[in-house]
Chain A
Amino acid sequence: MKAIELSPQGEAPTRPRQFTEKPSFEEQKQNKPAQSHFWARGIIGISVVATFLPLAYLISVSLMGRDETVSGILWTLDPQFSNWSDVLFSSDIPRSIGNSLIAATFGALLSLAGGLPGAWAIVHYKTGGRALSALVTSPWLLPPVVAVIPLFILLRVLNLNDSLVGLTLIYALINLPIAVWLLEGFLHKIPSSIFDAAAVDGAGPWRTLVSIVTPLMLPALIAIGTIIAILNYNEFLLATFLTQSVESQTAPVALSLFYGDRTPHFGKIAAASVIVVIPVFAAATFLQRWMIDGLVNGVGK
Chain B
Amino acid sequence: MIVLGAFPLVFIVTAALTESSLGKPFKKFVGAENFEAVLRDSDVLQSIFRTVSYSFAVTAVSVVLGVLLACAVYEGARKGSVLRTLLLLPLIIPPVIVGTLWKLIYNPSGGLIATVLGYASIPAPQILSDGSLALAAVGVADIWQWTPLVFLLVYASLLGQDSSLNEAARLDGAHGWKLFVHITLPAIGGTIAAAAFIRLVIALKVFDLVFMMTSGGPGQSTTTTSYLIYQAAIKEFDVDRASAITLLLAVVVTVITVPIGLMIARIRRSEGSNA
Contact = CB atoms under 8 A, between A and B. Distances in A.
B52 interface: no
Contacts of A116: none
Interface residues of A, number: 82
B69 A145 contact: no
Contacts of A266: 104, 107, 110
Interface in A31-87: 31-33, 36-37, 39-44, 47-48, 50-52, 54-55, 57-58, 61, 68-74
B93 A256 contact: no
Given A70-B109, A114-B1, A141 B73 contact: no
Contact of A43 (B1, B72, B109, B118): B72
B105 A57 contact: yes
A236 B212 CA distance: 11
Contacts, number: 233
B244 interface: no
Interface in B109-152: 109-110, 112, 114-116, 118, 144, 148-149, 152
Nearest to A57: B112
Contacts of A143: 204-205, 207, 225-226, 229, 249, 253
Interface residues of B, number: 91
Contacts of B68: 43
Contact of A149 (B22, B88, B96): B22
Nearest to B114: A72
Interface in A1-38: 2-3, 6-7, 22-23, 26, 30-33, 36-37
A168 to B, nearest CB: 14
Contact of B229 (A70, A145, A269, A299): A145
B35 interface: no
Interface in B70-123: 71-78, 81, 83-90, 92-97, 100-102, 104-105, 107, 109-110, 112, 114-116, 118
B254 interface: yes
4 A-B pairs closest in CB distance: A40-B76, A150-B8, A43-B72, A150-B11
Interface of B: 1, 4-5, 7-8, 11-12, 15, 22, 25, 65, 68-69, 71-78, 81, 83-90, 92-97, 100-102, 104-105, 107, 109-110, 112, 114-116, 118, 144, 148-149, 152-153, 156-157, 163, 166-167, 170-173, 175-176, 191, 194-195, 198, 201, 204-205, 207-208, 211-212, 225-226, 229-230, 233-234, 239, 242-243, 246, 249-250, 253-254, 257
